[in-house]
Amino acid sequence: MPENLQHDVLIVGAGLAGMRAAIAARAAGANTAIISKVHPVRSHSNAAQGGINAALLDRGDDWEDHAYDTIKGSDYLGDQDAIEVMCRQAGASLIDMEHMGVTFNRDDEGRLGTRAFGGQRRARTFFVGDFTGQALLHVMFEQLIKSGVRRYEEWFVTSLIMEGGQAAGVIALDIRTGELNLIKAKTVIFCTGGCGRLFEPSTNALIVTGDGMGLVYNAGGQLMDMEMVQYHPTTLAGSGVLISEAARGEGAYLRDKDGNRFMEKYAPNMMELASRDVVSRAEQTEINAGNGVDGCVYLDCTHLGEALIMERLSQIREIGVDLAGADMIREPIPIRPGMHYIMGGIKTDIDGLTNLEGVYAAGECANVSVHGGNRLGANSLLDTIVFGERAGNHASTAARGRNYVEFDAGATLARESRRIQEMLDRPNNGDRWASVRKDMGDSMNRNVAVFRNEEGIQETLGELHNLKRRYENVPVHNKGKRFNTDLVFALELGYMLDCAETIAIGALERRESRGAQFRVDYPDRNDEEWLHHIVVSESESGPQVSELPVTITKWTPEERKY
């Protein structure tokens, strides 16, 4: 019989948002645990390369300027009250990270150094070379160990338990043993990251499969603005590996096949440092017009000099050499837009609370609406730290005022065990979960990418319907218990298909172009009809679409130019 496991606050996902939430909840006195399908320092927060934004007053910067740049970058779909919270807190959160031990780069005067990042009028991005996320993640893990938070490593959550409209815990598969375990919890915080592997290729790690979004959605939670999918301007062809915006922040150029800096046609003021959606569309337009080479344009760093590249961009230089055979010190490297980040996610308030009692979310899986239609580079790490901490604090306070929900734990665990056994018992029909996943990724990348139209989106929705039917019968070839990754991947695919459907539904519903959503059949932004959030909820009759107003405090929507 599995051990009796229960916690005041249970965090699902051990990236930066999850660990920050766990540390905050533990510091507030809650019995706290964190559960992750991978070892915490293998979380995808590792992949955040460029830096973290903050407006420090001693630099003559102001949080309201940061807020305005973020709101403008969001194409006015971001909720301004949430953006104010994030930008006000940014400086303190940055200093917290420095005090915890993050060794940020410093300038010649010994102060924390900054670099420029896209969509911002001044340099406010603090960084550790070109591996900032990795640096933060390892320091945060040290703090997690110090805090004494219990860790369930390589456990995969298969079900969120809701009883009487309230969170009661989760069921999780111990990947190492193959045993299912029920963990009771007074509050559950999802910090499971994005869903980038719905698209092929993607800059995201293979573990980024929308688990938390799918679990909350299936339990009655709301997913908001899922159509807002960010394509990063600089990814390597074929592999989709990210080439950090840090390169353009240090002064790299984008060039076409003839060596022209084409961004002057699209963003004459900010050039390569316009917002990511603007740069990605410009690149794709040039590629489609035949001004690229083999489906790519070029990122040119040669004028930056070897010393700067080796000091600040060494990791992406190695990536270029290893994966593209091009050394950015001596030659431009081929790049193209690639799926990178989802602005949408589980609808939350500024404390991470969802529409489900006792259920919270933070980080990329959440949509507190600080990114709107387009996230500014280096606001993602800030989002995880600020709202991870807020969710941990709020959940610990909520847990003090409630008891564990009473329910038949044995029957609940037995039902989930039967569901998974039925997957394992499916006969071999010649299909594979990997084939379903690849077909889904290809369809999403073909029709729900930088440019979209109704015909293509409808095509993908039809294909997703067929893929969900295939998924109901896809066999799990490995019948074993220990480290059955075949089973884990099959379970992940269910969440991915649900998330993909909500993205396509939102993209079809939003009949305008705003931020990352560019409809060639509706090429203009339409504030009169579409300045609102699109919410998708699950029902017995299928996905249901509704809308919520955008919160506007002091910044009136205006035409977005760079």
3-state secondary structure 19-61: HHHHHHHHHCCCCEEEEECCCHHHCHHHHCCCCEECCCHHHCC
Strands 345-347 and 223-224: antiparallel
Give the position of tokens 């172009």. Answer: 513
Instruction: Please spell the DSSP secondary structure of 209-229, one letter per residue.
Output: S-HHHHHHHHTT--EE-TT-E
Vertex 37, ends 492 and 32: CA angle to 5°? 125
User: Taking the alpha carbons of 58, 61, 64, 67 in that order, is the dihedral positive or negative?
Assistant: negative
- Contact predicate 457/504, CB 8 Å: yes
- Which of 276, 281, 390, 452 is catalytic? The answer is 276
What angle (nearest 5°) sits at the alpha carbon of residue 197, between those of residues 201 and 276? 65
Token pair of 329 as six digits: 């010190």
Contact between residue 517 and residue 228 where contact means Cβ atoms under 8 Å apart? yes
Q: Which of 458, 500, 440 is nearest to 195 (CA)?
A: 500
The yes-or-no answer on residue 276 being catalytic is: yes
Could you give the C-alpha distances from 487 to 194, 199, 372, in angstroms and in order?
Answer: 21, 21, 35
CA 327, distance to chain mean position in Å, is 29
CA distance 157 to 180: 9
CA atoms of 335 and 292, how far apart (whole Å): 10
Q: Is 559 exposed, middle or buried (0-12, 13-18, 19+ CB in 10 A)?
A: exposed
Question: SS3 for 356?
Answer: coil
Q: Which two tokens stand for residue 242?
A: 């990210």
CB 373 within 8 A of CB 74: yes
| Cα 301 from Cα 305, distance rounded (Å) | 8
CA-CA distances (angstroms) from residue 475 to 103, 254, 420, 501, 536? 48, 46, 12, 22, 29
280 burial via Cβ count (<10 Å: 0-12, 13-18, 19+): buried
Beta-bridge mates of residue 156: 173
Distance CA 536, CA 171 (A): 25
Q: Which amino acid is at 221?
A: G
Which of the residues are catalytic?
276
